[in-house]
């Protein structure tokens, strides 16, 4: 079955509406938590700034686009350097450590995130979100996903790595 151009536009509009609805729903159920102690030394705060929340979510969406388009060069550029070196990730083995999404359309919706300031203008975000499989008819929940994302607002760059979600458990 071949889809017409108008069907693709309708699909994109539907997916966007579902994602926006999920984001709005997640903000209607705010958490009472404001601070988390990690190792009794660092202070990690809940992200309450909508602008920062959507900026981080946009970075994760960009990462997801690279996964879905099988863009290994871009993935290696946005992956955290420590994550790459610890796992000895190369172009040839990248999908051993990352999911291969190029057969299905997925979307990611951030549900909750914490941040810590590493230095002025550089922040580390711990992100919990839902991964959805997108079809023409709907989006179906697949699983929870966790990421650690470092955002350098001075240079407008980020790096990302999968995360075990320890802070959220």
Model confidence at 148: pLDDT above 70: yes
Rg of the chain over CA atoms, in angstroms?
Answer: 17
Looking at every residue in the chain, the average pLDDT score rounds to 83
Distances (CA, A) of 128 to 1, 11, 73, 78, 134: 36, 26, 25, 19, 19
Please state the pTM of the whole predicted model.
0.74
Distance of CA 83 to the CA centre of its chain: 16
Span 89-147, pLDDT tens digits: 999 999 999 887 767 888 899 999 999 999 999 999 999 999 998 888 888 899 999 99
The CATH T-level fold of domain 5-168 is: Nuclear Transport Factor 2; Chain: A, (3.10.450)
Span 75-90, pLDDT tens digits: 999 999 999 999 999 9
Q: Where are the domains of the chain?
A: 5-168
């Amino acid at each position: 079955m071949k889809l017409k151009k108008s069907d693709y536009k309708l699909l994109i509009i539907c997916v966007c509406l579902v994602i926006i609805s999920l984001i709005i729903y997640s903000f209607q159920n705010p958490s009472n938590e404001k601070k988390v102690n990690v190792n009794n030394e660092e202070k990690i705060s809940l992200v309450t700034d909508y602008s920062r929340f959507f900026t981080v979510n946009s970075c994760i969406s960009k990462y997801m686009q690279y996964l879905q388009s099988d863009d290994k060069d871009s993935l290696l550029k946005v992956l955290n350097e420590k994550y790459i070196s610890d796992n000895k990730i190369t172009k040839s083995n990248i999908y051993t450590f990352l999911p291969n999404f190029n057969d299905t359309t997925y979307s990611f919706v951030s549900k909750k995130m914490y941040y810590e300031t590493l230095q002025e203008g550089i922040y580390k975000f711990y992100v919990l979100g839902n991964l959805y499989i997108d079809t023409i008819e709907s989006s179906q929940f697949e699983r929870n996903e966790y990421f650690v994302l470092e955002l350098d607002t001075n240079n407008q760059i980020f790096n990302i790595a999968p995360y075990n979600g320890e802070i959220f458990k």
